[in-house]
Amino acid sequence: MQRDQHTLERHIGERIRRRRAECGLTQQQLAQAIETSYQQLQKYENGSNRISAEKLYRLGRRLGVPTNYFLDGFEDGEAAAEPGHTARERAMIELVRSFGDLKAPRVRVALAALVKAVAERQA
């Protein structure tokens, strides 16, 4: 049972980290929003500390997701995500965030065409 608890806590922490990154928030910004220290938020995100229902609720409200979002993908004591999946998602989030910062429409169109061509060649 102890191992399953830590697995669940790590899963919830990864879901918090992922959603925080999607929202473009730093740990400091999110910690302030839920009235905790950024060190405590770090412990939540790496799964070393258990998070209360109240904090989970506050996180959901601040991150714009229902509370059950943090449990999605957790089945039978194991996280459903494949190894390396979170690193790929982080790279995609960063790419989208940077793409949105591009000012020139022609550059965005050209870059989108390049990414599409590379992806099609790998298929």
Question: What percent of the chain stands above pLDDT 90?
Answer: 50
The total number of residues shown for the chain amounts to: 123
pLDDT band at 106 (very low <50, low <70, confident <90, very high): very high
Encoded amino acid at 105, one letter: P
Mean pLDDT value across residues 73-82: 62
Q: Is 18 exposed, middle or buried (0-12, 13-18, 19+ CB in 10 A)?
A: buried
| Domain ranges for the chain | 1-81, 82-123
Q: Which residue has the higher pLDDT, 76 or 33?
A: 33
Half-sphere exposure (CA, 13 Å, Cβ side) for 44? 23
Bridge partners of 78? 75
Q: What is the pLDDT of residues 14-38, one digit of tens each?
A: 999 989 888 888 899 999 999 999 9
State the architecture of 1-81 in CATH terms.
Answer: Orthogonal Bundle (1.10)
Q: Which residue has the higher pLDDT, 80 or 106?
A: 106
